[in-house]
Amino acid sequence: MSEERTRAPRDPAGRKKAIELAAAELIAHEGTKKLTHRRVAERAGVPLGSTTQYFSSIDELRHAGLAVLAQQVGEDYEGMFRRIREQGGTADAFANELVAYLADMKQVNADAAFVAAAVHDPAIRALYRSACEFAIAQCVPFMSETQARAFVIYLDGLTVDACLLDNPARPDDVRFAVHAIMGAALDDGGCNLQP
């Protein structure tokens, strides 16, 4: 037999990170319900025992995975707002970035998975809250707080609906909504408005 089980070299930090990432990916793809030690171990390419070595319970492992997701969401937001600033913070800049964000279904799904996990987990809700507050803070240089809150709520709805509906918001829809919220006139004259 060539069953030469060779033990993995020591690398606690890398091991833990690999497990967290595997958990995050699984949560993004299938939700927290199907997160088991076995599946995480398999995806991370580590033996079952390693998943319990670094996380004292499945709850902790799940939260670690969700924290990774939260981190990713935060980084996505940072990048998005940086690019918005670089474009001058105009309504068009906001709209462009929202559209670009929605085009990346991987990102959208991870975000939606995070929301779904937060609904029944207070600890995750705290992370979600932080992300929202961050987003609002990023908006205020370019609009009032009221507008910022409206924008973020719209963004959250956009994320959820992009994940849940086959026919997500069209670019024009996004442009319209952003301009409406930010109080900016649309170039095309707002032809779609109410009669």
Residues of the shown chain interacting with a copy of itself in the complex, contacts defined by CB under 8 A: 30-33, 112-113, 115-120, 125, 128-129, 132, 142-147, 149-150, 152-158, 160-161, 163-166, 169, 172-173, 176-177, 180-183, 190, 192-195
57 binds, among DNA, a copy of itself, none (CB under 5 to 8 A by kind): DNA
Q: How far is the CB of 18 from a copy of itself (least distance, A)?
A: 21
Q: How far is the CB of 125 from DNA (least distance, A)?
A: 21
C-alpha 121 chain-centroid distance: 16
Question: Residue 15, Cβ neighbours under 10 Å: how many?
Answer: 18
Helix axes 37-44, 58-86, angle to 10 degrees: 50
C-alpha 10 chain-centroid distance: 32
Report DSSP state, residue 120: T
136 binds, among DNA, a copy of itself, none (CB under 5 to 8 A by kind): none
User: What is the pattern of x (binds DNA, CB under 7 A) and - over residues 9-48?
Assistant: xxxx--x------------------xxxxxx------xxx
Report d(CA 110, CA 143) in Å as an integer.
28
Q: How far is the CB of 119 from DNA (least distance, A)?
A: 19
Token duo for residue 76: 């996505």
Of 24, 59, 69, 63, the residue nearest 159 (C-alpha): 69
- Among 4, 49, 185, 194, indicate the residue that binds DNA (CB under 7 A): 49
